[in-house]
Amino acid sequence: MLHVAIVGAGPAGFYTAEALAKRLGPEVAIDIVDRLPTPYGLIRAGVAPDHQSIKAVDRRYAAVLAGGVRFVGNVEIGDSGVSIAELTGLYDAVVLATGAPRDRPLGIPGEDLPGVIGSAAFVGWYNGHPDFADLDVPLGQAGACVIGNGNVAIDVARLLAKTPAELAASDVARHARVALAASTVSDIHIIGRRGPYQASFTTKEMGELGLLERAQPRVNPADLPDAAGDAALESGLRKVVGHLRSFAALPQSDKPVAIAFDFLSRPVAIERHSDALQLIVEATRLDGDIAVGTGVMRAIDCGLVVGCIGYRTAEIPGVPFDTARGRFVNTEGHIAPGLYVTGWARRGPSGTIGTNRPDGGEVAEEIATEITPGNRAGGPGLDALLAARGIRPVTFAGWQAIDAAEIAAATHPAPRDKHVTRAALLAAADAGCAGGTTPL
Ligand code: NAP
């Protein structure tokens, strides 16, 4: 029997488990270990709560657990919990699928001021991630700046702009639902240091901005490149630019919320003046694809700045880390003999959920061909270690109990009312089933 531990219960971890189980069948025992009491990683805590159809992929991951892969939640691999050396001693192969849950710093003065928040924290807040449930999100000023020209920036701007009715069928965390309903934010700026042709938005996300109840996207026609260049663009980007052109052509609307695309604007500082912030941006011009500062500065008044400029993997003591790239040092997914990495922790924070599927298949194939069973203790050994340390892992049955409790607590049409503290999650796991927080 080959014993494999996968660290991280997000898409990268599940696609690896699915591929391994398919490849090796009864010859492999797989444990998916996660620091949270809940599985599904970014599906639960990253994908926007109003994108329920994307979240539906969790059914595929639940089928992996129902098929015999174990979920071992509420167990941190690192300083607290279990060390990486202990884990690699227990299993024939360990796969790190821990994603990139940390914010990349903006690297400008003022980024530590209250009201300046990274997207990992902000998205975690509205998605009910236990680490961010208490985040102080100031929504009492008209202005809000969202830095970055990727899909996370679009998600954040859309969530800030939507009405309570537009969020009714979402699973936005209750605290965020209440705070967003009371928000006075009406002047949302999406800040890009380069231009429309360099943006990383995708078509569907852009299209949604044109359909909002009380918010209108605004694009300065002067920021748009000559339309003659559109034909040479890759088709997805051409459609994105098409949306931007249609936003630029919209007549003045009486919608009370504006989502302004501020292209060619490089953030250089954030200042606090009494209870308000100012984001200082420098106008840029493009030299090819490179943004060059012009020295022309302007200040944007706001109460909130959300940096959506990408993510970093969280370091694990004992695992070599590439600080510059913000991910584990690896050669095509290999870190050390028996230690592998997949997903964002391997290649950085880019691509869709589906991009992790071939990654998972690749690492599964490598394990199947490179590793032979070494009479390791595997899951029973991990269970014994956790019991000795007084750590209560959450099982699949425990997660099913949490899931049922959240669904039962929801007010129609919301699909669930999330538990947002570890204590509430663990209590629901225990209350819903005997053994919800003990090994199966
Ligand atoms: P992203 O697509 O890489 O975009 C990051 C943005 O931040 C870029 O526009 C980048 O500009 C900008 N940026 C980086 N450093 C900056 C700085 N110091 N100052 C100002 N701007 C800076 O990353 P993301 O939006 O975090 O998304 C991560 C991945 O998840 C992407 O693959 C995305 O498509 C995916 N995602 C998908 C969905 C969806 O499908 N609905 C939703 C959310 C996320 P430059 O280009 O100039 O570097």
Distance 44 CA to ligand 1 centre (A): 19
Residue 435 has pLDDT above 90, yes or no: no
Helix (H) or strand (E) holding 383: helix 378-389
pLDDT tens digits, one per residue of 256-303: 999 999 999 999 999 999 889 999 999 999 999 999 999 999 999 999
Instruction: Quote the tokens at residue 292.
Output: 């060059």
Distance from C-alpha of 321 to C-alpha of 335, rounded to nearest angstrom: 10
pLDDT of 29 reads 98
pLDDT tens digits, one per residue of 111-129: 999 999 999 999 999 999 9
Distance 139 CA to ligand 1 centre (A): 23
Distance 190 CA to ligand 1 centre (A): 12
Nearest CA to ligand 1 atom 38: 151
Q: How confident is the model at residue 179 (pLDDT cuts 50, 70, 90)?
A: very high
Q: In testing the pocket of ligand 1, which one of 200, 268, 356 has its CB within 8 Å of the most ligand atoms?
A: 200
CA Rg value for the chain: 23
Atom of ligand 1 nearest to the CA of 106: 18
Distance 376 CA to ligand 1 centre (A): 41
Atom of ligand 1 nearest to the CA of 152: 25
| Dihedral angle over CA of 217, 218, 219, 220, nearest 10 | 180
Distance from C-alpha of 212 to C-alpha of 196, rounded to nearest angstrom: 21
Atom of ligand 1 nearest to the CA of 149: 9
Nearest CA to ligand 1 atom 18: 106
Nearest to 154 by CA among 121, 200, 211: 200
- DSSP secondary structure string, 134-151? T------SSEEEEE-SSH
Atom of ligand 1 nearest to the CA of 148: 7
Strand partners, 334: 331, 340
pLDDT tens digits, one per residue of 296-319: 999 999 999 999 999 999 999 999
Distance from C-alpha of 418 to C-alpha of 405, rounded to nearest angstrom: 9
Q: In testing the pocket of ligand 1, which one of 104, 106, 151 has its CB within 8 Å of the most ligand atoms?
A: 151
Distance 63 CA to ligand 1 centre (A): 31
Distance 250 CA to ligand 1 centre (A): 26
Distance 149 CA to ligand 1 centre (A): 6
Q: How confident is the model at residue 21 (pLDDT cuts 50, 70, 90)?
A: very high
In this prediction, residues 142-168 reach a mean pLDDT of 98
Which residues form the pocket of ligand 1, taking CB atoms under 6 Å from any ligand atom? 106-107, 147-153, 155, 192-194, 198, 200, 202, 205, 267, 308-310, 349-352
In this prediction, residues 82-99 reach a mean pLDDT of 98
pLDDT of 79 reads 83
Q: How confident is the model at residue 432 (pLDDT cuts 50, 70, 90)?
A: confident
Nearest CA to ligand 1 atom 31: 350
Distance from C-alpha of 105 to C-alpha of 323, rounded to nearest angstrom: 12
Residue 2 has pLDDT above 90, yes or no: yes
Q: How confident is the model at residue 222 (pLDDT cuts 50, 70, 90)?
A: very high
pLDDT of 438 reads 52
Distance of CA 398 to the CA centre of its chain: 23
Cα(first)–Cα(last) distance of the chain, in Å? 19
Nearest CA to ligand 1 atom 33: 151
Distance 426 CA to ligand 1 centre (A): 34
Q: How confident is the model at residue 14 (pLDDT cuts 50, 70, 90)?
A: very high
Nearest CA to ligand 1 atom 16: 309
Distance from C-alpha of 417 to C-alpha of 117, rounded to nearest angstrom: 24
Q: In one letter, which amino acid is 42?
A: L
Q: How confident is the model at residue 44 (pLDDT cuts 50, 70, 90)?
A: very high
Residue 440 has pLDDT above 50, yes or no: no
Residue 230 has pLDDT above 80, yes or no: yes
Distance from C-alpha of 432 to C-alpha of 402, rounded to nearest angstrom: 7
Distance of CA 300 to the CA centre of its chain: 27
| DSSP state, residue 230 | G
Beta strands at 327-328 and 321-322: parallel, antiparallel or unpaired: antiparallel
Are residues 243 and 208 in contact, defined by beta-carbon separation less than 8 angstroms? no
Atom of ligand 1 nearest to the CA of 291: 47
Q: How confident is the model at residue 136 (pLDDT cuts 50, 70, 90)?
A: very high
Q: How confident is the model at residue 406 (pLDDT cuts 50, 70, 90)?
A: very high
Residue 398 Rama label (left phi>0; alpha psi -120 to 50; beta) = alpha
The overall average pLDDT reported for the chain is 96
Helix (H) or strand (E) holding 16: helix 11-24
pLDDT tens digits, one per residue of 338-365: 999 999 999 999 988 999 999 999 999 9
Distance from C-alpha of 177 to C-alpha of 300, rounded to nearest angstrom: 26
Q: In testing the pocket of ligand 1, which one of 309, 327, 353, 355 has its CB within 8 Å of the most ligand atoms?
A: 309
Distance 194 CA to ligand 1 centre (A): 12
Q: Print burial letters for 71-105: b (CB count within 10 Å at least 16), e (below 16).
A: bbbbbebbeebbebeebbebbbbbbbbbbbbbbbe
The alpha helices in 130-279, defined as continuous H runs, are 151-161, 164-167, 174-181, 203-209, 235-248
Distance from C-alpha of 159 to C-alpha of 179, rounded to nearest angstrom: 11
> Which position has the higher pLDDT, 7 or 439?
7
Tell me how crowded residue 127 is: count the other CB atoms within 10 A of its CB: 25
Distance from C-alpha of 343 to C-alpha of 12, rounded to nearest angstrom: 5
Residue 433 has pLDDT above 90, yes or no: no
Exposed/middle/buried for residue 211 (C-beta within 10 Å: 0-12, 13-18, 19+): exposed
pLDDT of 439 reads 44
Nearest CA to ligand 1 atom 42: 151
Q: In testing the pocket of ligand 1, which one of 106, 116, 127, 149 has its CB within 8 Å of the most ligand atoms?
A: 149
Nearest CA to ligand 1 atom 21: 148
Residue 436 has pLDDT above 80, yes or no: no
